[in-house]
A and B are shown apart, each in its own frame.
Chain A
């Protein structure tokens, strides 16, 4: 079943067109990695799906073009934004609790803390005083609190030590195994190919390559990633 349909999506920042005619579909339970160089339009695409930008889109058969971000959460779309964007003055638990929605599901403060055990002792600490890895865990946990059907992850490994990234992805695998549909942006190609079932590669606002992670050979991905022409 198709969960998300994006049809010829265009996003602009004034004169700059960041996303040009991008179309793709994501099925229920899929994990899709969105890759591409800096400025390819990945973050803009994610923000458009989450509703922070407002171009055309269809989610679960509903036209969400005119639905503001806060109501998309109630529909089951949750974004873990680039740079985490926690509420620094709120404690870990408060950060999680403000994101509670009416959607029922398995995620609540208790189950989030079980998936991210590193947060358990930090529960009443202000988000500003957490380490980068802890902050990222809170950001993912906060998105899970709304029991999303589609989880958007924007560069969860940004600015984190490799060991911490491993821990974050280990927890993510648990989340994915629960049957979540995930669209993630990842700079680390190897990691993206490992965690995702399907890969969409963007370049200068367009989709240049799309396919199953297993069937794509790394060379082709790298060429698409940097926009290199095939040697004649």
Chain B
């Protein structure tokens, strides 16, 4: 039963990673930008929610709804001021630019909010603490259900947007061939800005969940980025549903790893990530025959 419980908790944890990874996946899929500031953008979102909660006393969820337009505008500004310019200078420049942006965001947060840790758990109401005991070894937390439901909803909504709406087709067309898209009358600049705005808004959602499930401080971003990045790679870069699956696979690997030893949790996730990297990027062809040969030798003896 503990194993079933571990997998279940892993799915809930993975849904959180998937929400974090979603924006990263969109930006890579549409613009081929790996946004190294993605984790920091999520943390920035958590801080904005935190400020609204502190000043008005509303629930974290209400505060998030208020923070959403701010994040969308920030996304537009980020694209039009930083990313668009860096995209023109080749594929490495956005990587450097977002790395710099990551440092800038961390230091601005440090300067404004001090290095103290904060949490949104207290302002999220009963969701933070409620849970249901299914059987003796199996309990389901309300927050886990909420995160999983929201994750499925977000990915589902994106799927509908990309496959059913004209704006979604235009985004896919631009992602596939921006030059040809321009030639049929699509303004790739505004499509890119829209994609970044969506990515930043969903990153803030990840920040909200991070703040509710645990604590955050100005330098929490990079850790979140690593998990988000692993989720994207495990699921297949640029694939939307793959990212949801990748996040859940990462979460399950971590909770199963924790069954072996509590300190092995994060390591198990990294190992899954490495295994996927080796298999997907041709390394499998180099490594697997060696493994097979070793196994054959053993059976031959």
* A interface residues (Cβ-Cβ under 8 A, vs B): 50-52, 68-71, 73-74, 78-79, 81, 85-90, 94-95, 97-101, 142-143, 145-146
- What is the distance, in angstroms, from A144's C-beta to the closest C-beta of chain B? 11
- What is the distance, in angstroms, from A128's C-beta to the closest C-beta of chain B? 10
Decide if the interface of chain B is mainly helix, strand, loop or mixed. Answer: helix
- Pick from A78, A94, A98: contact of B186, CB under 8 Å: A98
Q: Are B176 and A98 in contact (CB under 8 A)?
A: no
- What is the distance, in angstroms, from A112's C-beta to the closest C-beta of chain B? 13
User: Can you offer 5 A-B residue contacts whose CB atoms are under 8 A?
Assistant: A70-B188, A73-B183, A78-B183, A98-B181, A101-B185
Known: A98-B166, A98-B170. A90 touches B185 (CB 8 A): no
Q: Are A74 and B185 in contact (CB under 8 A)?
A: yes
Report the Cα distance A79→B176, complex, angstroms.
18
Q: Are A85 and B187 in contact (CB under 8 A)?
A: no
Q: Are B185 and A94 in contact (CB under 8 A)?
A: no
Q: Are A87 and B185 in contact (CB under 8 A)?
A: no
- Select the residue from A69, A79, A89, A101 with max chain B CB neighbours within 10 A: A69
* 19 more CB-based (< 8 A) A-B contacts, given A51-B183, A79-B183, A146-B185: A68-B182, A70-B181, A70-B182, A70-B185, A71-B185, A73-B183, A81-B180, A85-B183, A87-B173, A87-B181, A88-B176, A89-B172, A90-B176, A94-B169, A95-B173, A98-B186, A99-B185, A100-B166, A145-B184
Indicate whether B54 reaches chain A with its CB closer than 8 angstroms.
no
Closest to B170 in A: A98
Residues of A close to B187: CB separation below 8 A: 68, 70-71
Residues of B close to A73: CB separation below 8 A: 183-185
Report the Cα distance A79→B177, complex, angstroms.
15
Interface residues of B in 69-87 (CB under 8 A from A): none
- Pick from A85, A94, A101, A146: contact of B180, CB under 8 Å: A85
Q: Are B176 and A87 in contact (CB under 8 A)?
A: yes
